[in-house]
Copies of this chain bind each other. A is one copy, B any other.
Amino acid sequence: MSATIIDGKQVAAEVRAEVTREVEAFVERHGRPPGLATILVGEDAASAVYVGGKQRACAEVGIKGFDHRLPADASRAEVVALIERLNADPDVSGILCQLPVPGHLDGVELTNLIDPDKDVDGLTVASAGRLALGLPGLRSCTPAGVIRLLDAAGVAIEGAEAVVIGRSNLFGKPMAQLLLERNATVTIAHSRTTDLADVASRADILIAAVGRAEMVRGDWIKPGAAVIDVGINRLAEPPAGRSSALVGDIAFDEALAVAGAITPVPGGVGPMTIAKLLDNTVQAARLQAGED
C-alpha cells in the first residue's frame, strides 16, 4: 500500500481562500484592510525573492502591503526607528523583519522590538512565552501550517505519539508546543539523540526538520504513520526519475511505501508558511480591532 500524499498547495489554497473572505469581512466592518509591513535590509537576492513573494501573496488576498527596503549599510537606529513607526501605525497589523540582516545588525534584537501583537512570524520572546504558557498570541507560521496539514489530512493528533526531529527556535520547539497543546505525547529528538531511528519508529506523527537530504529512511517509519517533511535541500542534480533537485529530510520513495500519509517536497509544508503568514496578519488585525 502506498501513502496518501498530503497536497500542501491545495491546503494552502484553501487557507488563502478563507483569508480572502476574512479580509473582505474585515474591510466591511472597519473600512480598511489588514496590513502587512515587511522590512528588508540590504540586497540579498534570496531574501528579496522571499519578501517579493510575501508582498504578492498579500495583494492576492486583499491585505495591504507595506514594502520597506533599507540599504545594506542602514544603521541600527534607522531600522529601530522604522520598527517603532510601524508598531505605532494603526494601518499596519503585522510586521516582519526578513532575516538574515547584514552583519552589523542583530536580527534577534531587532525582531524583539516588534510589538508582540504585530509579530506575525511569532519569533519574539513574548510570542515564544505566550506559546509556552498556552496564552493567546500569534504562533510561528510553519509549525501552525503543519498542524493545519495534519488536520486537513484527517490525522488524529490527540493521544498520538508525535516525534519532532530538530529543535530550532524557528520550527522544532514551537512545533512541539503546538502538538502538546493538541494533546499529543511529544518527543523532541535532535543531533544528540542516541538512536534516532528507534525514536522515530515510535511515531504516529513524524516530523523532520533537520536540513539533511533524505536522512530519514523508510525503515525509520512506523507503518501507517503521518510523515511531515519540513526540510528543503537542494541536490547538485535531480534524483533519478525526478524533475526537481529539491529534496526533503525524508527519503520520499522509501517512506511512501510505509507511511499512511506524507507531505512531498516541494509542494508540502512549503506553501503553508506564507498562507499562515496571511492568516496571522488577519488575526492580528482582528485582535488589534478588539475583536475575538
Contact = CB atoms under 8 A, between A and B. Distances in A.
Interface of A: 124-135, 158-161, 167, 169, 173-174, 176-177, 180, 183, 185-190, 192-194, 199
A185 B180 contact: no
Contacts of A185: 187-190, 192-194, 199
12 contacts: A125-B130, A125-B135, A128-B128, A132-B174, A159-B192, A167-B180, A176-B188, A180-B188, A183-B190, A185-B190, A185-B193, A186-B187
A129 B124 contact: yes
A186 B176 CA distance: 10
What is the oligomeric copy number?
Answer: 2
Contacts of A176: 188
Most chain B C-beta atoms within 10 Å of own C-beta, residue among A127, A133, A158, A180: A133
A201 to B, nearest CB: 12
A158 B174 CA distance: 21
A173 B189 CA distance: 16
Contacts of A160: 194
Given A183-B190, A186-B187, A188-B186, A169 B134 contact: yes
A116 to B, nearest CB: 9
Contact of A132 (B131, B134, B159, B199): B131
A186 B127 CA distance: 22
A125 B183 CA distance: 22
A176 B176 CA distance: 11
Given A125-B135, A159-B194, A185-B194, 20 more contacts: A125-B129, A125-B133, A131-B132, A132-B132, A132-B169, A132-B173, A159-B192, A159-B193, A161-B194, A167-B180, A173-B180, A183-B192, A185-B188, A185-B189, A185-B190, A185-B192, A185-B193, A186-B188, A187-B187, A187-B188
Contacts of A187: 185-188
Contacts of A134: 169
A192 B126 contact: no
A10 to B, nearest CB: 30
Contacts of A189: 185
Contacts of A124: 129
A189 B127 CA distance: 24
A180 to B, nearest CB: 6
Contacts of A127: 129
Contacts of A193: 159, 185
Contacts of A125: 126, 129-130, 133, 135
A167 B184 CA distance: 11
B192 A158 contact: yes
A119 to B, nearest CB: 11
Nearest to A169: B133
